[in-house]
Structure 1
Amino acid sequence: MIYRFRILLDNDTNEDVFRDIEIRETDSLEDLHNVITQSFGFDGLEMASFYVSNDEWEQGEEISMLDVSEGQDSVRLMNETSLNDVVHEAQTKLIYIYDFLNMWTFLVELAEIVEEAEGADYPNLMFVHGQVPDAAPEKNFEAEDFNDFDEFDDDIDVDDYDNLDFDENWN
Protein backbone atom coordinates (compact mmCIF):
# COMPACT_ATOMS: atom_id res chain seq x y z
CA MET A 1 0.00 0.00 0.00
CA ILE A 2 1.01 3.60 -0.57
CA TYR A 3 0.66 6.31 2.05
CA ARG A 4 -0.10 9.81 0.83
CA PHE A 5 1.04 12.45 3.28
CA ARG A 6 0.58 16.19 3.45
CA ILE A 7 3.55 17.80 5.19
CA LEU A 8 2.77 21.35 6.33
CA LEU A 9 5.38 23.79 7.60
CA ASP A 10 4.13 24.96 10.99
CA ASN A 11 4.44 28.73 10.78
CA ASP A 12 2.61 31.70 12.16
CA THR A 13 2.14 33.42 8.81
CA ASN A 14 -0.95 33.25 6.65
CA GLU A 15 0.98 31.62 3.82
CA ASP A 16 0.65 27.85 3.60
CA VAL A 17 3.81 25.95 2.76
CA PHE A 18 3.27 22.24 2.20
CA ARG A 19 4.29 19.21 0.19
CA ASP A 20 2.21 16.15 -0.76
CA ILE A 21 4.26 12.97 -0.79
CA GLU A 22 3.59 9.33 -1.66
CA ILE A 23 5.66 6.64 0.05
CA ARG A 24 5.36 2.91 0.64
CA GLU A 25 3.81 1.94 3.98
CA THR A 26 6.73 -0.42 4.59
CA ASP A 27 9.37 2.30 4.13
CA SER A 28 11.08 3.56 7.27
CA LEU A 29 10.62 6.87 9.01
CA GLU A 30 14.18 7.60 7.90
CA ASP A 31 12.97 7.31 4.30
CA LEU A 32 10.18 9.77 5.09
CA HIS A 33 12.71 12.08 6.78
CA ASN A 34 14.86 12.00 3.63
CA VAL A 35 12.00 12.81 1.26
CA ILE A 36 10.76 15.62 3.53
CA THR A 37 14.18 17.28 3.74
CA GLN A 38 14.71 16.97 -0.02
CA SER A 39 11.25 18.26 -0.92
CA PHE A 40 11.67 21.34 1.30
CA GLY A 41 15.23 22.01 0.08
CA PHE A 42 17.22 21.05 3.19
CA ASP A 43 20.51 19.16 3.08
CA GLY A 44 19.27 16.57 5.58
CA LEU A 45 22.38 16.73 7.73
CA GLU A 46 20.81 18.18 10.89
CA MET A 47 19.30 16.17 13.73
CA ALA A 48 15.61 15.41 13.43
CA SER A 49 12.84 13.53 15.20
CA PHE A 50 9.30 12.44 14.57
CA TYR A 51 6.73 12.56 17.34
CA VAL A 52 3.53 10.58 17.37
CA SER A 53 0.66 13.05 17.66
CA ASN A 54 -3.01 13.05 18.50
CA ASP A 55 -5.81 14.97 16.78
CA GLU A 56 -4.91 18.15 18.70
CA TRP A 57 -1.29 18.00 17.44
CA GLU A 58 0.07 17.28 20.90
CA GLN A 59 3.57 15.85 20.92
CA GLY A 60 3.78 12.20 22.00
CA GLU A 61 6.42 9.47 21.73
CA GLU A 62 9.68 10.50 20.06
CA ILE A 63 11.18 8.52 17.20
CA SER A 64 14.69 9.87 16.76
CA MET A 65 17.30 9.87 14.03
CA LEU A 66 20.01 8.80 16.50
CA ASP A 67 19.93 7.20 19.92
CA VAL A 68 21.15 9.93 22.27
CA SER A 69 19.62 8.39 25.40
CA GLU A 70 23.09 7.60 26.84
CA GLY A 71 22.06 4.23 28.26
CA GLN A 72 18.85 5.45 29.82
CA ASP A 73 15.50 4.46 28.32
CA SER A 74 16.30 4.01 24.66
CA VAL A 75 14.14 5.72 22.05
CA ARG A 76 12.80 4.25 18.86
CA LEU A 77 14.95 5.02 15.84
CA MET A 78 13.78 6.22 12.43
CA ASN A 79 15.81 3.65 10.50
CA GLU A 80 14.33 0.78 12.56
CA THR A 81 10.70 1.94 12.47
CA SER A 82 8.48 1.37 9.45
CA LEU A 83 5.73 3.83 8.64
CA ASN A 84 2.97 1.29 9.16
CA ASP A 85 4.27 0.68 12.72
CA VAL A 86 3.30 4.22 13.76
CA VAL A 87 0.87 5.52 11.15
CA HIS A 88 -2.43 3.92 10.14
CA GLU A 89 -6.09 4.82 9.71
CA ALA A 90 -6.60 5.31 13.45
CA GLN A 91 -3.28 7.16 13.99
CA THR A 92 -2.76 9.65 11.15
CA LYS A 93 -0.64 12.46 12.58
CA LEU A 94 3.04 12.98 13.27
CA ILE A 95 5.05 16.04 14.19
CA TYR A 96 8.43 16.29 12.47
CA ILE A 97 11.16 18.56 13.83
CA TYR A 98 14.24 19.20 11.73
CA ASP A 99 17.34 21.03 12.99
CA PHE A 100 16.85 21.45 16.73
CA LEU A 101 18.77 24.72 16.75
CA ASN A 102 16.35 26.36 14.31
CA MET A 103 13.30 24.20 15.15
CA TRP A 104 11.84 23.72 11.68
CA THR A 105 8.53 22.14 12.66
CA PHE A 106 6.23 20.25 10.30
CA LEU A 107 2.80 18.75 10.74
CA VAL A 108 2.66 15.41 8.91
CA GLU A 109 -0.74 13.94 8.22
CA LEU A 110 -1.73 10.75 6.45
CA ALA A 111 -4.29 11.88 3.89
CA GLU A 112 -4.96 8.68 1.99
CA ILE A 113 -3.96 5.04 1.62
CA VAL A 114 -3.97 3.82 -1.98
CA GLU A 115 -2.84 0.87 -4.06
CA GLU A 116 0.65 1.00 -5.50
CA ALA A 117 0.60 2.19 -9.10
CA GLU A 118 2.33 -0.17 -11.48
CA GLY A 119 5.61 1.26 -12.77
CA ALA A 120 5.59 4.22 -10.37
CA ASP A 121 8.69 5.20 -8.40
CA TYR A 122 8.35 5.79 -4.67
CA PRO A 123 8.78 7.96 -2.72
CA ASN A 124 7.08 10.45 -5.00
CA LEU A 125 6.72 14.20 -4.55
CA MET A 126 3.18 14.78 -5.82
CA PHE A 127 2.56 18.45 -5.15
CA VAL A 128 4.45 21.55 -3.97
CA HIS A 129 2.78 24.63 -2.54
CA GLY A 130 4.48 27.74 -1.13
CA GLN A 131 8.05 28.87 -0.70
CA VAL A 132 10.14 27.84 2.28
CA PRO A 133 11.27 30.96 4.17
CA ASP A 134 14.97 31.72 4.48
CA ALA A 135 14.83 31.18 8.24
CA ALA A 136 12.74 28.92 10.44
CA PRO A 137 9.55 30.58 11.65
CA GLU A 138 9.87 32.02 15.15
CA LYS A 139 8.27 29.91 17.85
CA ASN A 140 6.59 31.64 20.76
CA PHE A 141 7.17 29.50 23.84
CA GLU A 142 5.97 32.17 26.24
CA ALA A 143 2.66 32.04 28.00
CA GLU A 144 0.46 35.10 28.05
CA ASP A 145 0.58 35.04 31.83
CA PHE A 146 3.70 33.97 33.76
CA ASN A 147 1.50 31.92 36.12
CA ASP A 148 0.65 29.64 33.20
CA PHE A 149 4.10 28.10 33.71
CA ASP A 150 3.46 27.23 37.38
CA GLU A 151 3.13 23.47 37.09
CA PHE A 152 2.93 22.99 40.86
CA ASP A 153 0.54 25.81 41.77
CA ASP A 154 1.29 25.32 45.45
CA ASP A 155 1.46 28.97 46.66
CA ILE A 156 5.02 28.50 47.96
CA ASP A 157 7.34 31.47 47.52
CA VAL A 158 10.74 29.96 46.72
CA ASP A 159 12.40 33.30 47.52
CA ASP A 160 11.10 33.18 51.12
CA TYR A 161 13.92 31.08 52.60
CA ASP A 162 12.70 31.34 56.21
CA ASN A 163 9.40 29.60 55.50
CA LEU A 164 10.51 26.83 53.15
CA ASP A 165 10.80 24.28 55.98
CA PHE A 166 14.38 23.45 55.03
CA ASP A 167 16.33 21.30 57.45
CA GLU A 168 19.90 22.53 57.40
CA ASN A 169 21.13 19.36 59.12
CA TRP A 170 19.52 16.85 56.81
CA ASN A 171 22.62 14.72 56.48
Structure 2
Amino acid sequence: MIYRFRIILDNDTEDDIFRDIEIRETDSLEDLHNTITQSFGFNGLEMASFYISNDEWDQGEEISMFDVSEGHASVRLMSETTLSDVVHESQTKLIYIYDFMSMWTFLVELAEIVEEAEGTDYPNLMFVHGQIPDTAPEKAFEAENFDDLGSEFDDGLDIDDYDNLDFDENWN
Protein backbone atom coordinates (compact mmCIF):
# COMPACT_ATOMS: atom_id res chain seq x y z
CA MET A 1 0.00 0.00 0.00
CA ILE A 2 1.00 3.61 -0.54
CA TYR A 3 0.78 6.26 2.17
CA ARG A 4 -0.01 9.79 1.07
CA PHE A 5 1.27 12.37 3.52
CA ARG A 6 0.92 16.12 3.81
CA ILE A 7 3.97 17.66 5.49
CA ILE A 8 3.33 21.19 6.75
CA LEU A 9 5.97 23.61 8.02
CA ASP A 10 4.80 24.61 11.50
CA ASN A 11 5.04 28.39 11.33
CA ASP A 12 3.09 31.25 12.81
CA THR A 13 2.64 33.11 9.53
CA GLU A 14 -0.31 33.22 7.20
CA ASP A 15 1.72 31.54 4.48
CA ASP A 16 1.05 27.83 4.14
CA ILE A 17 4.16 25.87 3.24
CA PHE A 18 3.62 22.17 2.61
CA ARG A 19 4.49 19.17 0.49
CA ASP A 20 2.32 16.20 -0.46
CA ILE A 21 4.25 12.98 -0.91
CA GLU A 22 3.56 9.32 -1.57
CA ILE A 23 5.70 6.59 -0.03
CA ARG A 24 5.37 2.84 0.48
CA GLU A 25 4.03 1.72 3.86
CA THR A 26 6.96 -0.70 4.08
CA ASP A 27 9.54 2.09 3.76
CA SER A 28 11.35 3.22 6.89
CA LEU A 29 11.04 6.50 8.74
CA GLU A 30 14.57 7.17 7.50
CA ASP A 31 13.18 7.00 3.94
CA LEU A 32 10.47 9.46 4.93
CA HIS A 33 13.11 11.71 6.54
CA ASN A 34 15.15 11.69 3.31
CA THR A 35 12.06 12.45 1.24
CA ILE A 36 11.05 15.35 3.47
CA THR A 37 14.52 16.92 3.48
CA GLN A 38 14.81 16.64 -0.30
CA SER A 39 11.31 17.99 -0.95
CA PHE A 40 11.96 21.07 1.20
CA GLY A 41 15.47 21.64 -0.18
CA PHE A 42 17.55 20.70 2.87
CA ASN A 43 20.89 18.92 2.53
CA GLY A 44 19.78 16.22 4.98
CA LEU A 45 22.99 16.36 7.03
CA GLU A 46 21.49 17.64 10.28
CA MET A 47 20.06 15.55 13.14
CA ALA A 48 16.35 14.90 13.04
CA SER A 49 13.65 13.01 14.92
CA PHE A 50 10.07 11.97 14.45
CA TYR A 51 7.64 12.07 17.35
CA ILE A 52 4.43 10.10 17.46
CA SER A 53 1.59 12.56 17.94
CA ASN A 54 -2.05 12.51 18.95
CA ASP A 55 -4.89 14.46 17.34
CA GLU A 56 -3.95 17.61 19.30
CA TRP A 57 -0.37 17.47 17.96
CA ASP A 58 1.08 16.66 21.38
CA GLN A 59 4.62 15.33 21.12
CA GLY A 60 4.91 11.68 22.12
CA GLU A 61 7.54 8.97 21.74
CA GLU A 62 10.71 9.97 19.87
CA ILE A 63 12.07 8.00 16.93
CA SER A 64 15.61 9.23 16.30
CA MET A 65 18.16 9.05 13.50
CA PHE A 66 20.89 7.82 15.83
CA ASP A 67 21.08 6.34 19.30
CA VAL A 68 22.69 9.05 21.42
CA SER A 69 21.39 7.70 24.73
CA GLU A 70 24.75 6.03 25.55
CA GLY A 71 22.88 2.94 26.76
CA HIS A 72 20.76 4.80 29.33
CA ALA A 73 17.46 4.08 27.59
CA SER A 74 16.15 2.15 24.64
CA VAL A 75 15.70 4.32 21.57
CA ARG A 76 13.69 3.62 18.46
CA LEU A 77 15.64 4.38 15.31
CA MET A 78 14.28 5.67 12.01
CA SER A 79 16.23 3.10 10.01
CA GLU A 80 14.68 0.23 11.99
CA THR A 81 11.09 1.52 12.06
CA THR A 82 8.75 1.06 9.11
CA LEU A 83 6.01 3.55 8.42
CA SER A 84 3.32 0.93 9.03
CA ASP A 85 4.79 0.36 12.53
CA VAL A 86 3.87 3.89 13.63
CA VAL A 87 1.30 5.24 11.18
CA HIS A 88 -2.07 3.71 10.28
CA GLU A 89 -5.77 4.61 10.09
CA SER A 90 -6.07 5.22 13.84
CA GLN A 91 -2.63 6.87 14.27
CA THR A 92 -2.21 9.42 11.49
CA LYS A 93 0.03 12.16 12.91
CA LEU A 94 3.75 12.61 13.43
CA ILE A 95 5.85 15.62 14.33
CA TYR A 96 9.15 15.89 12.47
CA ILE A 97 11.97 18.09 13.74
CA TYR A 98 14.96 18.73 11.53
CA ASP A 99 18.18 20.44 12.68
CA PHE A 100 17.90 20.79 16.44
CA MET A 101 19.90 24.03 16.35
CA SER A 102 17.32 25.70 14.08
CA MET A 103 14.32 23.59 15.12
CA TRP A 104 12.60 23.25 11.76
CA THR A 105 9.29 21.72 12.85
CA PHE A 106 6.89 19.95 10.53
CA LEU A 107 3.47 18.44 11.07
CA VAL A 108 3.21 15.16 9.16
CA GLU A 109 -0.25 13.75 8.58
CA LEU A 110 -1.37 10.63 6.78
CA ALA A 111 -4.03 11.82 4.38
CA GLU A 112 -4.84 8.65 2.47
CA ILE A 113 -3.83 5.03 1.92
CA VAL A 114 -4.04 3.93 -1.73
CA GLU A 115 -3.01 1.08 -3.99
CA GLU A 116 0.39 1.29 -5.63
CA ALA A 117 0.12 2.78 -9.13
CA GLU A 118 1.85 0.88 -11.91
CA GLY A 119 4.76 2.79 -13.44
CA THR A 120 5.11 5.24 -10.51
CA ASP A 121 8.41 5.53 -8.69
CA TYR A 122 8.16 5.88 -4.93
CA PRO A 123 8.69 7.98 -2.93
CA ASN A 124 6.86 10.45 -5.09
CA LEU A 125 6.60 14.22 -4.55
CA MET A 126 3.03 14.95 -5.62
CA PHE A 127 2.53 18.62 -4.80
CA VAL A 128 4.55 21.62 -3.61
CA HIS A 129 3.01 24.71 -2.04
CA GLY A 130 5.03 27.68 -0.75
CA GLN A 131 8.72 28.29 -0.43
CA ILE A 132 10.62 27.53 2.74
CA PRO A 133 12.10 30.66 4.41
CA ASP A 134 15.86 31.13 4.81
CA THR A 135 15.64 30.56 8.56
CA ALA A 136 13.39 28.43 10.71
CA PRO A 137 10.31 30.20 12.10
CA GLU A 138 10.70 31.39 15.68
CA LYS A 139 8.59 29.54 18.20
CA ALA A 140 6.49 31.75 20.44
CA PHE A 141 6.17 30.39 23.96
CA GLU A 142 3.17 31.66 25.82
CA ALA A 143 3.67 32.87 29.37
CA GLU A 144 0.90 30.60 30.60
CA ASN A 145 3.10 27.59 29.85
CA PHE A 146 5.62 28.79 32.39
CA ASP A 147 2.97 29.51 35.02
CA ASP A 148 2.32 25.78 35.22
CA LEU A 149 5.74 25.32 36.81
CA GLY A 150 4.32 26.72 40.04
CA SER A 151 6.49 27.12 43.09
CA GLU A 152 8.62 24.09 42.25
CA PHE A 153 11.26 26.43 40.83
CA ASP A 154 10.61 29.44 43.03
CA ASP A 155 13.52 29.43 45.48
CA GLY A 156 12.85 32.95 46.78
CA LEU A 157 16.25 34.22 45.67
CA ASP A 158 16.75 37.50 43.87
CA ILE A 159 19.40 36.82 41.25
CA ASP A 160 20.34 40.51 41.17
CA ASP A 161 20.99 40.65 44.95
CA TYR A 162 24.63 39.45 44.89
CA ASP A 163 25.33 40.30 48.52
CA ASN A 164 22.81 37.76 49.81
CA LEU A 165 23.58 34.89 47.44
CA ASP A 166 25.32 31.92 49.02
CA PHE A 167 28.43 31.69 46.85
CA ASP A 168 31.68 33.47 46.19
CA GLU A 169 31.40 35.01 42.74
CA ASN A 170 35.21 35.20 42.54
CA TRP A 171 35.76 31.55 43.37
CA ASN A 172 38.27 30.89 40.63
| TM bracket (short chain) | 0.7 to 0.9
Partner of 2:124: 124
Does structure 1 residue 159 correspond to structure 2 residue 128? no
Partner of 1:11: 11
Alignment of 1:72-91 (within 5 A): 72-91=72-91
Deviation at 1:139, TM superposition (A): 0.8
Partner of 2:54: 54
Name structure 2 gaps, 5 residues minimum: 158-172
Deviation at 1:74, TM superposition (A): 1.8
Partner of 1:92: 92
**Structure 1 counterpart of 2:76, which letter?**
R
**TM-score, normalized by length of structure 1?**
0.87
Deviation at 1:141, TM superposition (A): 2.8
In the TM superposition, what whole-angstrom CA distance separates every residue of 1:63-87 from its partner, at most 9, and x where no partner exists? Answer: 0000001111121000000000000
**TM-score, normalized by length of structure 2?**
0.87
Alignment of 1:28-67 (within 5 A): 28-67=28-67
Deviation at 1:149, TM superposition (A): 3.2
Distance 1:83 1:73 in 2: 22
Distance 2:133 2:47 in 1: 19
In the TM superposition, what whole-angstrom CA distance separates every residue of 1:94-135 from its partner, at most 9, and x where no partner exists? Answer: 000000000000000000000000111000000000010010
What's the Cα RMSD here? 1.5
Paired residues in the alignment total: 157
Q: What secondary structure is seen at the aligned counterpart in 1 of 2:6?
A: strand
In the TM superposition, what whole-angstrom CA distance separates every residue of 1:122-169 from its partner, at most 9, and x where no partner exists? Answer: 00000000010010000123424752332xx56x95227xxxxxxxxx
Q: Which runs of 4+ in 1 moved over 4 A?
A: none
Aligned CA distance change for structure 1 residues 157 and 19 (closer, same or farther; 3 Å): closer
Distance 2:146 2:58 in 1: 21
Aligned CA distance change for structure 1 residues 159 and 9 (closer, same or farther; 3 Å): same
Distance 1:112 1:35 in 2: 17
Name structure 1 gaps, 5 residues minimum: 161-171
Partner of 2:169: none
Distance 2:49 2:79 in 1: 11
Work out the percentage of aligned pairs sharing the same amino acid: 80
